[in-house]
Amino acid sequence: MGRAVTDVKRQYDGAARRARAERVRAALIEAARDLLLGEGYAALTIPKVAVACGVSAESVYKRFRGRPGLLRAVVEQALGGSGPVAAETRSDALDAEDLPELLQGWGRLATEVAPRVAPILLLVRVAAEHDPELADLARELDDTRRARMADNARRLADAGHLPPGLTLGRATDVLWTYSSPEVYDLLVVRSGWNLEQYAAFVTAGLAAHLGT
C-alpha cells in the first residue's frame, strides 16, 4: 500500500512539475512576442524576457538556447493558430477530394494564422539584414513554409486537382505566394481589408490558379 501511494505521489509531482514548466514556457513566449511586436527585435533580449516573467536569464537560455531559439518558438506558436488543435493539423484533416471545401478551408485558416505570424515574419526579415544569425533563422522559416506548401501541392496533385500542364513546382509557387506575409501585409495591414475579404481573396486566387 505504501509503495502504491508513493508511486501515485511521484506521478502527481511529476505531472505538476511538467505543467508548471509548460506555463512558464508559454509565459516566456508571450512576453517575447509582446516585446517583439511592441518594441522591435532590438528590444527582444533574454534578460528583458526573464524579468517580465520573474525568472532568471539562465533559465530562459536553457529552454530556448538564446534569442533565435526564443524567436523560433514565437513563430511556431503563432503558426499553431488560436484553437486547441494546431492549424497545420486541422489543415491536414481537410477533405482533399472536395477542392472547393479544401480551398475555402485554407482561406479560413489563413485568416487565423496570418494575423499572428505575418507581422513577426516581416520583422524577422528586416532585422535579418543586420544580423547573420537571424538571417539563418529567416531562411529556415522561409524554407519551412515553402516545404509545407510543397506538401499541399502534392495533396492537390494526388487528388487530381491540378490543371494539365501545371507542375508541382509551379503549384508550390502559387501556394507559397498566397500564404506569404507580404500578401497579408499589403491587403490587410496597409490597404485596410478585413479578414473576410482577405480569406475570399486567398480562396479565389487559389481556385483560379490551381483548380482544374
pTM (2 d.p.): 0.85
Q: What is the pLDDT of residues 84-95, one digit of tens each?
A: 899 999 999 999
Alpha helices in 55-194 (DSSP H): 57-64, 67-79, 87-92, 99-128, 132-158, 168-178, 181-184
Residues in the chain: 212
From residue 76, alpha-carbon distances to 73, 107, 167 in Å are 5, 19, 29
User: Considering only CA atoms, which of 97, 27, 35 is closest in space to residue 55?
Assistant: 27
Q: What is the pLDDT of residues 169-192, one digit of tens each?
A: 999 999 999 999 999 999 999 999
Query: What domains can you pick out in the chain, each with its CATH number?
Result: 1-79 (1.10.357.10), 83-212 (1.10.357)
**Nine cell digits for residue 14:** 511529476
What type of residue is 194?
Answer: N
Q: Give mean pLDDT in consecutive 10-residue pieces for the chain, a chain of 212 residues.
A: 57 74 93 93 92 94 90 93 91 93 95 96 91 88 95 96 94 97 97 98 94 68
